[in-house]
Chain A
Amino acid sequence: MLKYLIRRLAATALVITLVSMSVFVIFAYLPMDPARLTCGKACTPSIIEANRHRLGLDVPVQVQYGRFVKGLVAGRHYGEGVASFDCPAPAFGYSFNKHACVSTLIADAFPVTFSLAIGSFILWLLIGVSLGVVAAKRQGKWQDKASTAFVLVGISLPTFISGILILLLALKFNLIDPIEMGRWVSPFTDPIGWARNFIFPWITLALAFAATYTRFTRSNVLETSSEDYIRTARAKGLSEKVILRKHTLRAALAPIITIAGLDFAGLLGGAIITENIFNLPGLGRLSIRAVLVDYDLPVILTTTLLAAVFVVVMNLVVDILYAYIDPRVRVA
């Protein structure tokens, strides 16, 4: 087990390194020139060159990458003279648009995105799994039909519509203060304010995901119910309750871990639409602004990298969890 863990961790580290390299190379060869973009209206080639040097883009890409990695470990110094800034480790870069270290921007945005992700994750798992189980156990009955209706609505309604609807309703019934909306409240200082801040974004995101999970759970429970080992459990004389709880659910829910983990990882990279609708200053908003408004290369690079890292790391977590649940995956 330990050996496996070490090997998986090493593999994960390697993947992350490769991902960061490719992200770096892709951005280096984009047809846009950040030095030109930072230079403003009165631009001469010499200013562009000076900017390029200031941004550290005048050296070959492998040197840029080397500096980037070094910055991650040791912190980094950006710019020159008056316009010079220090970012402590881990330094992902410096945003000249926002005049801040990217790490600071991320540190501000990540708790928001994480709060959004974790809350909606729990909510959609609760709703999706319980609706799915009920639908499967009451197959063909009204409970099943109702959950099918829910699934249809949830899947067909895009987040930007459901989100806006929820926002409008919440505003109409004065459940959200439009001025305070989206202001970050730490769950450690004011847990109720935090939850109130996030409840509607949670519902919005959970709605979309819960539908998929309901459908998935229902079909998994039904499939597992027809397994031979469930018949064996019944032949032993176990009650239906125990069969469902101990035998059916464990096998039916195991595959859900895989999707849930990856869905969660995806959300950690930022929920662009939901964050924008509810004015949440999370990673999604940070990166979409960086892409569409500022062309803020260090920010884009960092958020992209982070999103990839989340997926890779969650993958590892999922595999370990799966091995814990399914002994066939473990070593003999």
Chain B
Amino acid sequence: MSQPFLEVKNLTVSFPTEDGLVRASNDISFTVARGETLAVVGESGSGKSVTSLAVMGLHDRRSAQISGQAILNLESGPIDTISASPDVVRKLRGKSMAMIFQDPMSALHPYYTIGDQISEAWRLYNDGDKKAGIKRATEMLDLVGIPGAAKRVLEYPHQFSGGMRQRVMIAMALVNNPSLLIADEPTTALDVTVQSQILELLKNMQKEFNMAVILITHDLGVVAEVADRVSVMYAGKIVEQAGIDDIYYQPDHPYTIGLLNSIPRVDQLEGRRLIAIPGQPPSLISLPAGCSFRSRCSFSSQVPNNLCATAVPDLDQKISGHFSRCHLTEDQLKKARVSTGAVL
């Protein structure tokens, strides 16, 4: 594959609070190429949203400490959105990189028409009057499958259903033909039949615009449907990163294994008891020494010398393209996969 469009290197975001430093995302590295979908999976507080907001330059610099790099390989040359000036990054937003959010109900301004809001995004980077903007907005609404676009472009957000609003958000994000789209839980607030419409739309749009897509979600079902590669995050770190099939059929981290075992599935009817992951994620303010997942991991006793409690495991490449942050050997992991059984 050619050079990836986005290269995130050692990105760390922390927030100083009265109780201490919250390490929301910690030493994150990944890449996404055009035409590729990377899913970032994790539970609340795992740092998946924080990371992408940092790439977009959307953190308030007064409250967030950010280090590392997020390099966009533009045609004009690479730009690091972490070290570039806020004004430079602002002019990349909406043009080279765009983002859609979880709650389409609140993500659109209630006082402006859909057309106004899309046209505003377009006119920021294109010469054209308001009329041209509305025309462009209508085309975009048409493209994302909103019936009666010419009429609806003049309507307000509250006149749209949740699914339609998410389509509007997508139309707005894509209006300047961005190379990277970050979708943060884009279907979480939607009903399941609408969710499949939106996922289908995202897939089509990705092809149409040849975009790099980062899909942030907690839903392993959604991931299976759209992702090419997956990063699994836990307590601010990437714990496993691999191609889609590897993650589901050869999970190489006890947390990933645990997640897959803990979810009920419509495709498995034989009343299997869910294997829950015991306990809860650690506080991001006082992360335990060693592996953050250790206290919930049922295999850590297999690692000699109490290594899990003392040393943070590296994100090692065990097989080509498959990274895992675990002290267990490949053999032990294989046994772990088999012993819990339910996956596959």
Chain A residue nearest to B125 (CB atoms) is: A237
**Is A236's CB within 8 Å of the partner chain B?**
yes
- Residues on B with beta carbons closer than 8 Å to the beta carbon of A229: 106-110
In the complex, A39→B169 CA distance in Å? 77
Near A by CB (< 8 A), chain B positions 250-300 give none
One of A98-106, A209-217, A324-332 contacting the partner:
A324-332
Q: In chain A, what residue has the closest Cβ to B122? A: A236
Q: Pick the residue among A233, A237, A251 that contacts B91 (CB under 8 A).
A: A237
The contact size tier of chain A is 20 to 34
Nearest A residue to B103, CB-CB:
A228
How does the 8 Å CB contact mask read for B137-180 relative to A, with 1 for contact and 0 for none? 00000000000000000001011000000000100110000000
Task: Tell me, yes or no, whether A289 is within 8 Å of chain B by CB.
Answer: no
B93:A235 contact, CB within 8 angstroms: yes
Tell me the nearest residue of chain B to A227, going by C-beta: B106
SS of A interface (majority): helix
Minimum C-beta distance from B128 to chain A (A):
16
Whether the Cβ atoms of B58 and A237 lie closer than 8 Å is no
One digit per residue, 1 when the CB lies within 8 angstroms of any chain A CB and 0 when it does not, for chain B 69-113 equals 000000000000000000000111111001101010011111101
Residues of B within 8 Å of A250, CB to CB, are: 111
A174 cross-chain contacts in B, Cβ below 8 A: none
Residues of chain A from 230 to 253 with CB closer than 8 A to chain B in the complex: 231-239, 247, 250-251
Bound form: Cα–Cα A92–B118 in Å:
56
The answer to whether A237 touches B92 (Cβ under 8 A) is yes
Using a CB-CB cutoff of 8 Å, which residues 39-93 of chain A contact chain B? none
Check if B239 is an interface residue, CB within 8 A of chain A.
no
Q: Which of A232, A237, A247, A328 has the most CB of B within 10 A?
A: A237
- Among candidates B91, B94, B103, B156, residue contacting A235 with C-beta atoms closer than 8 Å: B94
Q: Is B21 an interface residue (CB 8 A)?
A: no
The yes or no answer to B120 lying at the interface (CB within 8 A) is yes
- Find chain A residues with CB under 8 A from B101 CB: 228, 231-232, 235
Q: Do the beta carbons of A236 and B124 come within 8 Å of each other?
A: yes
B-side interface residues toward A, CB under 8 Å? 56, 58, 90-95, 98-99, 101, 103, 106-111, 113, 120-121, 124-125, 156, 158-159, 169, 172-173
New A-B contacts (4) at CB < 8 Å, excluding given A227-B106, A228-B101, A235-B58: A228-B103, A235-B98, A236-B124, A332-B159
Please name 12 pairs of A and B residues whose Cβ atoms are closer than 8 Å in the assembled complex, sorted by A: A229-B107, A229-B110, A232-B107, A232-B169, A236-B94, A237-B94, A237-B121, A238-B94, A325-B111, A327-B110, A327-B111, A328-B110
